Amino acid sequence: MKPIWFVALGVMLCAGCGGAPALENLLQTKNGPLGYLYDSEKVSEKQTGTVRIGSVIVEDVLPQTTSVTEQSGFMLPLLVVNVWKYDYHSQLGHSQLTNDYKTFIKDSFVEELKRSGKFSYVDDQSAMEIDLKIKTISMTAPIRKTGNVIFLLYAVSFSQSYYAGPAEALITADAVLKKDGTEVFTQQFTGVGKTGVLQGRNLDIADFTTAMIEALSLSVKNLHENIVREINKI
Amino acid sequence: MERFIQQLLLIFPLLLLSACNAPARYILVSEGSAESYRTYRENADQRFVCLAQADARNNSGLLALRKQSDIEEYERTRTDRHDPVERILFHLIRKDYSKARDVLQQHDAIVPQYLRTLLHADLAYEADARNPAKAAQLIKQYQDAFDIQPCAISREIINLRIRQVRYLR
């Protein structure tokens, strides 16, 4: 048997391999902080009245580790032309975050209240008090792997591409605003953050971790802005 | 074969010329300029600094520097080498970040605040962006610069900077 056939057989066996666990390992190599630009319109002249935060409860809404699960896929071993396509779903784990997400959610909410809230933010005694409870963070972060191997008699062609994204994070929270002990509103708020698609042969799939962190950051920003906008309606 | 080599020899200087005349990394744009910075954007690494109208008027020569050849031409005809703001910006455009940092430190009080905070953040980025531990600090520096920028396009420009901090490897 000619050596080329050993190579061909090897490539055929390995084609499309390195699935979910390999992707998971790659995504776990990258980490970064949650963070965003506060670019909402600043309210410099505050109205009469103050607001404080009663409580911010963030349940364990993010898993510890980043994971990848295979959703669907196929491989067609047609000897001369071998084609494969796999779809994965990834989920960001908090071990990829270099800052504590619970602290970040609380601190950034305070910052947003100070910045765009029409009432002055105070730490202690206040007429208005807001309680926030983060209930869920869900993430849609698809990765698609496609590839092919073509065997000719003395040549082998191999091609594999990844398409990752868009990473989309959805955060859900309950907010209760009280004024002088009386409930003003109890409402569920959501925040959405979305980033673009990463694709190409030279794609470093670990960058998708950064995209998921960015999407989560933007969803937190969107959530806070939505809550502050509602408070400003009072 | 000879013909192929001849053609290659003809193309080679053109390729060399285009490689030498790379787009500038830092491009200055002016507040209220009719053209968006997007007009000048040639690659993802480019960074834009938007000057207030008065600073743009004082440094109008720097606004036109888009390519390496423009920078060389400007350097040949440069007259005012004593204005600290012009010196800092020119060092920045030439990618001479250590000199830009030195002049900025010497003349910190003269440089307008909006520009000073942005330049401090940009120079910190050039020094530390590859250190993931510095990412949160860099985002904070850009946040500090954001609120005092005179240009409407600063929102996009600084958001782009933050994305560059995130994705740089």
Give dist(CA A136, CA A62) in Å, integer.
8
Q: For B135-167, give the DSSP string.
A: HHHHHHHHHHHHTT---TTHHHHHHHHHHHHHH
Query: Quick check: B153 pLDDT over 90?
Result: no
Q: For A94-138, give the DSSP string.
A: GGGBSS-HHHHHHHHHHHHHHHH-SEEE-SS--SEEEEEEEEEEE
Which residue of chain B comes nearest to A42, CA vs CA? B147
Tens digit of each residue's pLDDT (9 = 90 or more) over B39-81:
777 787 889 999 999 999 999 899 989 899 999 999 998 877 7
- Work out the pLDDT band at A190, boundaries 50, 70, 90: very high
Check if A32 contacts B (Cβ < 8 Å).
Answer: yes
Tens digit of each residue's pLDDT (9 = 90 or more) over A52-84:
999 999 989 999 999 999 999 998 888 789 999
Which residue of chain B comes nearest to A41, CA vs CA? B147
Tens digit of each residue's pLDDT (9 = 90 or more) over B78-136:
877 789 999 999 999 999 999 999 999 999 999 999 999 999 999 999 998 888 788 88
Check if A31 contacts B (Cβ < 8 Å).
Answer: yes
Residues in chain A within 8 Å Cβ distance of B135: 32-33, 35, 98
Cβ pair A37:B166 closer than 8 A? no
Cβ pair B135:A38 closer than 8 A? no
Which residue of chain A comes nearest to B164, CA vs CA? A210
Say which of B132, B136, B146 has its CB closest to residue A35: B136
| Nearest CA distance, A66 vs chain B (angstrom) | 18
Structure tokens at B140: 């904070």
Q: What share of chain A is helix, strand, coil (3-state, %, to 5)?
A: 30, 45, 30
Say which of A31, A37, A207 has its CB closest to residue B143: A37
Check if A35 contacts B (Cβ < 8 Å).
Answer: yes
Q: Which among A132, A131, A130 has a CA at the least distance from the CA of A51? A: A130
Cβ pair A204:B162 closer than 8 A? no
Q: Which residue out of A30, A38, A39, A221 would a mutagenesis test of the B interface target, given it has the greatest number of B Cβ atoms within 10 Å?
A: A39
